[in-house]
Each structure stands twice: as structure tokens, then as C-alpha cells.
Amino acid sequence: MPYQPVNTVEDAHNIDPALMAKIDEVTKRATFGCGLSDILYEKMLQDGLQLILDRTPTDQRDTVLAALTWHGYDPHYSPYEPEEGECASTGIDIYCCPCGRHE
């Protein structure tokens, strides 16, 4: 599959349906598994999209990378670095965090 840039909304709608289904599944899992924490959502989204890219055949990587980037993939993503008193998983103050890891 030759490189097909995703530069417009029209391009985004022309993404292979199988790939779009995978992206949708990653997005849904991140949304429902994040507990309304933007930090956790971003980590789950980036990890899921990276997994799609890792499983992509070499000859399709450029096209898939363009599609993933359009849908929020950041190849330079780095995990959240919590401040003192913040949960490393959710980014929420440890006295308000619902993750259950704090006393």
C-alpha cells in the first residue's frame, strides 16, 4: 500500500475500514477505562495506538502512521511526570484520586 497522507477531513474518512475499527476500539477502551482522568486517557490512547503501529507490516507503516497521527497518536509521547501529592496513574491529587492506591 503506497503512502497516503491524511491531511484533510475527507482523507480521514477514507481510512481503511479495518484500521478505523481498530482505532475506534482503542479510543473506546481509553475512554471507558480512564475514570475521567485526562492523564490516564492519554496514556491508554497512546499505548493502544502504538500497539496498532507495532503490529503494522513495514510496507504499510507510513499510511497507518498518518492515520494514527490524525486520530491523536503522538510519536514523541512521554508519560506524565507527577508532582508531589499527585497520583502517578491519574494525575489527580492523592487525597481525591479514585484509583485506590492511596491511604
What is the sign, positive or negative, of the torsion defined by CA atoms of 101, 81, 84, 38? negative
Q: What is the pTM of this model?
A: 0.79
DSSP character at residue 60: G
| Residues 15-54: tens digit of each pLDDT | 888 999 999 999 999 998 877 788 989 999 999 999 999 9
**Measured distance CA(82)–CA(43) in Å, rounded:** 13
| Residues 55-83: tens digit of each pLDDT | 999 999 998 999 999 999 999 999 989 99
Cα distances from 100 to residues 44, 72, 89, 92, in angstroms, run 18, 29, 11, 12
How is the chain split into domains, by residue range? 9-70
